[in-house]
Every structure is written in structure tokens, then in C-alpha cells.
């Protein structure tokens, strides 16, 4: 009985964790509409014509998923956009799946 409860609990936890994951397609759209305008203009284009090289450069500053969340929130404030938490999650999910590859 205890083993059954543990397995059921684990299943429900994993199901809930999946539900919290952001939508990477929505994150890509938000990124394209907002973030890229600054990143593409940085450092005279040394981060690539589209600015995404900032995420893959050798000396990148973001080294954990927690740091990525923190940076997306900082950028949101700098841009003056009013993203609710689910949109922050979308952008983080997009960036992590496509560039950072941190374990979730």
C-alpha cells in the first residue's frame, strides 16, 4: 500500500511539473517581439545578426536555470513589458530548450 501511494504521488508530482512548464512557441514569439531588439543591437552585432549569439557565447553569464529566470525578469523590467508569470515561464522555456539546455 505504501509503495502504491509513493508511486501515485510521484506520478502526480511529475504531472503537475509538466503542467507548469512554459510554452516554448509562445516564448519564441515573445522573444522575437521584445528581446531581440536589444540583443541584435548589442556590441555592433558581435552576437550575430539576430542577437542570439549572446546566449551561446563562451563567456556567457547565465549558468543555471535560476539565473535564467532572474535575467528574464530583469530584461522584462528593462523593456517595460508587463508579462505575467506564465509568459516569463514561456520565454525561459524557449531560451532553455534552444540555447541553454539546463536540466529542469
The domain spans of the chain are 22-100
Question: What pLDDT, on a 0 to 100 scale, did the predictor assign at position 20?
Answer: 58
d(CA 76, CA 60): 19
Q: Which ranges of the chain have pLDDT less than 50? A: 12, 15-19
User: Where do runs of H (alpha helix) occur along the chain?
Assistant: 2-20, 24-30, 36-39, 53-56, 65-79, 85-95
Q: What are phi and psi of 79, to 5 degrees?
A: -75, -20
Measured distance CA(55)–CA(62) in Å, rounded: 8
Query: Grid coordinates representing 63?
Result: 549558468
Please name the residue that has the C-alpha cell 528593462.
Answer: 78
pLDDT in the model for residue 47: 64
> Which residue's entry shows cell 511539473?
17
Fold of 22-100: Cytochrome Bc1 Complex; Chain D, domain 2 (1.10.760)
Residue 48: what pLDDT? 63
Amino acid at each position: 500500500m505504501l509503495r502504491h501511494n509513493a508511486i501515485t504521488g510521484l506520478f502526480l508530482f511529475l504531472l503537475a511539473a509538466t503542467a507548469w512548464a512554459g510554452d516554448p512557441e509562445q516564448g519564441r514569439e515573445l522573444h522575437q517581439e521584445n528581446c531581440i531588439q536589444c540583443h541584435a543591437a548589442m556590441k555592433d552585432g558581435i552576437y550575430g545578426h539576430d542577437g542570439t549569439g549572446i546566449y551561446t557565447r563562451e563567456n556567457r553569464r547565465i549558468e543555471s536555470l535560476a539565473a535564467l529566470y532572474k535575467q528574464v525578469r530583469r530584461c522584462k523590467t528593462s523593456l517595460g513589458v508587463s508579462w505575467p508569470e506564465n509568459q516569463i515561464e514561456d520565454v525561459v522555456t524557449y531560451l532553455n530548450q534552444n540555447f541553454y539546455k539546463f536540466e529542469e
